Structure formats: structure tokens, C-alpha cells
């Protein structure tokens, strides 16, 4: 079992998603998905939203995105027009699918690609409607569910759980309480899974 904390707004989660899912399939592991609102996590753990980071950090991020899109052999728009759009409705659609025991994979992949490849607005209802229908889900039902108090409450609780688990950004993969932050740690996660070592703890 791996706990997976992420947001569709995260380019790093997009870049690592296919590799991570293939890895869990290879090891026969189930995944517990926890979409989180990153602003809530950053506020409690000392992270800064992109616009508030020093220009040197913002510039380095662009270099890293180029390196990793080449490394993962994935298309990626470096400056999507809708990057600043609120991701909560899209992420809550995932929560709603999970609550109904649906496999969210088709929608998650489509959501990542809509923002980071096709440069579309995942906060837009029409976009989400199209993505849900294409993934085989009742779009009207799940858009309504995603705006319900029960789903909003679960999504908010995901952020609190993330903070309690030591999560500091997206994506984070948590194996037996050990946090692997960032898709660039997937190789280290793979090492841990292959060796089946005990998780590292704070000393």
C-alpha cells in the first residue's frame, strides 16, 4: 500500500504519475489517493506558492521541468495559460470518484494532460464535463458531488492528514510512514520496494 498525495495543478505530479502507477502495478501494490490543496499544506509546512518564490527559484524550476520532461519522455507546456486557476474542483472530482468506489485513473490522467499538455482550464466546468464524459463517468453527477459539503470536507481533511503524515508538497508518496517527496524520488522509492527494507525513521 502506498499513500499518494498530489494535486492536478502540480507539474511534478504529472511528470511522475505514469512512472509511479507502473511501479505500483509492477510490485502489486494498491494506491490510496489523497488529492490535496497545496496552499493549505504550504501554509502549515513553510512552503511558498510559486509567485512568492525568489526569481532564482522560479528560474531553476523551469530548468528542472525541461530536464524532467525529457527524462520522462513526456510533453509538457512550461507556462500553461491556466496554471493559476483554482484546482480544487478538479481535485474534488477525484475525491468524489473515490468515495463512489470508482477507479479515478482515466480522469486523473486526462486532468493532468488537459492542464500540462493541452493548456486547458481545469477549473472550467465545461472542461471538466468533457473530461468526465470521455473517461466514462456521469459528468453532471460528479460535478455536483464535487461541490457537496461532504466531498469538500473530505478534501479539506486530506490536507490535514497530509500535514500530519509529513507531506510537504506534490507529489508525495508515503510507504509505511516514510515520505518520498517529489517525482525525482521515484527511483529511491523503487529501491525501497525492491529491497523491501524497513522504512527510515527520524533519528
pLDDT tens readout for residues 127-166: 999 999 999 999 999 999 999 999 999 999 999 999 999 9
Report the DSSP beta bridge partners of residue 174. Answer: 3, 179
What per-residue confidence (pLDDT) applies to 49? Answer: 83
| 171-181 core/surface letters (b: 16 or more CB in 10 A; e: else) | bbbbbeebbbb
Three-class secondary structure of residue 125 per DSSP: helix
23-40 burial, b at 16+ Cβ within 10 Å, e below that, comes to: bbeeeeeebebbbbbbbb
Percent of the chain scoring above 70 in pLDDT: 100
User: At 193, which helix (H) or strand (E)?
Assistant: helix 186-195
Cα 98 from Cα 71, distance rounded (Å): 31
Mean pLDDT over the full length of the chain: 96
Mean pLDDT of 86-90: 97
Q: Going from the N-terminus, what domains does the chain have, and what CATH number goes with each?
A: 2-195 (3.40.30.10)
Predicted confidence (pLDDT) at residue 203 exceeds the cutoff of 90: no
**pLDDT > 90: percent of the chain:** 91
32 three-state secondary structure? strand
Beta 178-181 vs 31-35: how paired, if at all? unpaired
Cα distance between residue 148 and residue 146, in whole Å? 6
Amino acid at each position: 500500500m502506498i499513500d499518494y498525495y498530489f494535486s492536478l495543478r502540480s507539474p511534478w505530479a504529472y511528470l511522475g504519475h505514469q512512472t509511479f502507477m507502473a511501479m505500483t502495478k509492477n510490485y502489486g501494490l494498491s494506491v490510496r489517493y489523497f488529492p490535496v490543496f497545496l496552499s493549505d499544506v504550504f501554509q502549515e509546512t513553510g512552503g511558498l506558492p510559486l509567485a512568492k518564490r525568489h526569481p532564482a527559484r522560479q528560474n531553476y524550476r523551469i530548468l528542472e521541468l525541461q530536464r524532467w520532461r525529457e527524462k520522462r519522455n513526456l510533453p509538457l507546456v512550461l507556462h500553461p495559460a491556466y496554471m493559476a486557476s483554482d484546482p480544487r474542483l478538479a481535485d474534488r472530482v477525484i475525491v468524489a470518484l473515490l468515495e463512489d468506489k470508482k477507479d479515478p485513473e482515466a480522469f486523473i490522467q486526462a486532468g493532468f494532460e488537459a492542464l500540462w499538455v493541452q493548456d486547458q482550464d481545469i477549473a472550467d466546468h465545461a472542461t471538466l464535463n468533457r473530461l468526465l464524459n470521455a473517461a466514462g463517468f456521469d459528468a453532471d453527477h460528479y460535478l455536483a458531488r464535487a461541490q457537496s459539503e461532504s466531498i469538500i470536507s473530505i478534501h479539506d481533511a486530506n490536507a490535514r492528514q497530509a500535514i500530519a503524515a509529513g507531506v510537504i508538497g506534490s507529489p508525495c508518496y508515503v510507504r509505511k510512514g516514510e515520505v518520498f517527496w517529489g517525482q525525482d524520488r521515484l527511483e529511491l522509492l523503487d529501491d525501497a520496494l525492491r529491497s523491501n527494507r524497513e522504512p527510515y525513521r527520524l533519528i
